[in-house]
Amino acid sequence: MLTLKNVYIARDHAPIIAPVSETINAGEVLALMGPSGVGKSSLLAYLSGTLPSGLSGHGEVTLEHLAIQDLPIEKRQLGLLQQSPLLFNHLTVEENLLFAYKSPESRFLRKQAIRSKLEEIGLEGLEHQLPQHLSGGQQARLALLRTLLAKPKALLLDEPFSKLDHSLRAEMRELVLDAIQKTQVPTILVTHDQEDADLMATRVYSLRSI
């Protein structure tokens, strides 16, 4: 369960959004919508600990009853997926995934697990490729797999499909929904696309400026 209590973003000490108080339960998807520039990405950035200087975030964020808003990024246990996949371009597909997949298992066993996950997601045989040699759709699937291998306790999706064409978009929606159903992670999805909200969201929250 992910809970936001009076969360808002400010610029020069002045709030730019009306405070948000919401609870997202296990397996729920909250679509965060609202006009361009209102502060949707900034709100997600506050939750994930990546807010740029110039803006400040306020309010309490709890994940499974632990307040996380002051924790360093790596301790928050959140999975963030953005428009442009955040992949290490100098590392192979397999190395990108090993980086995220922390487990007490040996490197050999982790590599085996990664091969089978690659197969499940339709990326079999690509483990030694560099991400820049993959198609946009393959990169999106790789970014999703990397996010999931880190076993996040909540997912934050910031317009993750907006650079994909219609059929890839539909495919990615299915994969993400399937992952949310299997892992039951609470999820916030920032989108401008009504179809994303209709097909994926349990609820829609319209962010308001102040």
Ligand X SMILES: Nc1ncnc2c1ncn2[C@@H]1O[C@H](COP(=O)(O)OP(=O)(O)OP(=O)(O)O)[C@@H](O)[C@H]1O
The residues binding ligand X (CB under 6 A) are 11, 16, 34, 36-42, 52, 54-55
> Closest separation between CB of residue 200 and ligand X, Å?
17
Closer of 32 and 97 to ligand X (Cβ) = 32
- Reading phi first (left if > 0) and then psi (alpha if -120 to 50, else beta), residue 65 is in left
Q: Which of 67, 54, 62, 77 is nearest to 21 (CA)?
A: 62
Q: Are 51 and 18 in contact (CB under 8 A)?
A: no
What is the smallest separation between the CB atom of 3 and ligand X, expressed in angstroms?
A: 21
Closer to ligand X by CB, 105 or 195: give it: 195
* CB burial string 86-113: b at 16+ within 10 A, e below: ebeeeebbbebbbebbeeeeeeeebeee
Minimum CB distance to ligand X smaller for 38 or for 185? 38
Q: How far is the CB of 111 from ligand X (least distance, A)?
A: 37
Question: Residue 61 or 98: which CB sits closer to ligand X?
Answer: 61
CB of 205 to ligand X, least distance (A): 12
Dist. CA 41–CA 37, nearest whole Å:
9
Closest to ligand X by CB, 38 vs 140, is 38
In the complex, the smallest distance separating the C-beta of residue 140 from ligand X, rounded to whole angstroms, is 18
Residue 177 CB, nearest approach to ligand X (Å): 22
Q: Among residues 52 and 104, whose Cβ is nearest to ligand X?
A: 52
Burial bucket for residue 70 (CB in 10 Å: 0-12, 13-18, 19+):
exposed
**CA–CA gap between residue 77 and residue 39 (Å, rounded):** 23
174 alpha-carbon distance from chain centroid: 15
